[in-house]
Amino acid sequence: MRQTAFFFLLLFIQTGVSAQATDYRKQQNYKEWVHLAPKFNDAFFRTEEAQRIGDNVLLYQQVTGGWPKNIYMPAELTEQEYTKAWNAKGDVNQSTIDNNATTTEIQYLARLYQATQKEKYKEGVLKGIQYLLKAQYDNGGWPQFYPRPTGYYVQITYNDNAMVRVMQQLREIYEKQSPYTFIPDETCQQARKAFDKGIECILRTQVRQNGDLTVWCAQHDRITLEPCKARAYELPSLSGQESDNIVLLLMSLPHPSEKVIESIESAVKWFKKSEIKGIQKEYFTNSDGKRDYRMIPCEDCPILWARFYELDTNRPFFSDRDGIKKYDISEIGHERRNGYSWYNKDGSKVLAKYEKWKKELNKK
């Protein structure tokens, strides 16, 4: 318990948010790990506690080089838990980029190697990078899980920023940004090639609606590249949730091609067309005593975008676990309404960035 207490003391010092630190002490789950791991300062990686956590990270690294998701890496493991984790290293079907898995662990080990110069951490990083490279399809896309053979996990996954996050990390690697300054040149070249293939996949999967380029689905078929479903309530659609970070990634390219420029312009046009104005959430306690919300009219409230739009009509829709489309959030059950993000404001980031991007483009 001493080491765990020390870990959370460091969290408190580095985040400066006492309320959050208190909550994290109670939760001790993977969400706090992926949220806080990138925020540790350099001094932390020179501590014994950082190495203790790093050894856990290596323990959970699978023979594929990737990591399973939803693991709380700072946990102090019992002998039984250690043995279970060791025996699971060969369960290759659990290696994933979902829920920030693998990319978080690669970054952590890279920073730990920079602080300690211990080869085992460097080896963990290089194996992790090779996992990302092997997981990429020839068409440039990444599945949610690799090498899991079946299910929606094998489709090209933009959902929850999975593929974009991998590409951002690969770019940091081939540019030798900190903490990846020690990565061999050959690996950097592989990362650059994989990144470029990823951009090509993004361009090829951009959906056309009535002949016009729009945005992307959360998942695309790994063979046909067409929009496809994932979980029962994640139907083929145009995604107002996942597409924003794809566009931001494209706008970050220093020398965009004509195809990239067309892609950005078309996506921005779609975001403007698909704005939802004049409604906002109102929270209340329902008849069962549960916290719930409804959408109510409002004035001068932030613009929203739906998570899913129909591929042909561009109409926002919602779905429960039965997979049936509904056109009003009140028509699905409490569990899915409150357990999933159906509306977001992230399109505003795209529109704000676009104005700056357009000015810079015109200067070139």
Supply the residues annotated as catalytic. 99, 231
Name the one residue in this structure whose structure tokens are 């293939």: 197
Which two structure tokens, joined as six digits, stand for 19?
Answer: 């309320």
Helix 162-174, helix 243-251: angle, nearest 10: 20
CB contact at 8 A, 353 and 253: no
Residue-wise DSSP of 238-258: EETTTHHHHHHHHHT-SS--H
93: Cβ–Cβ under 8 A, 6 or more apart, which residues?
145, 147, 148, 149
35: Cβ–Cβ under 8 A, 6 or more apart, which residues?
none
Element at 284 (helix H, strand E): strand 279-285
Residue-wise DSSP of 320-340: -TT--EESSGGGS-HHHHHSS
Residue-wise DSSP of 81-116: HHHHHHHGGG-GGG-B-GGGTTHHHHHHHHHHHHHH
Cis peptide before 147 (omega within 30 of 0): yes
Q: Rounded to whole angstroms, how far apart are CA atoms 259 and 211?
A: 16
Residue count of the chain:
364
Helix (H, G, I), strand (E, B) or coil at 230: coil
Strands 238-239, 308-309: pairing kind:
antiparallel
Question: Helix, strand, coil % (nearest 5) of the chain?
Answer: 50, 10, 35
First-to-last alpha carbon distance for the chain, in angstroms, is 57
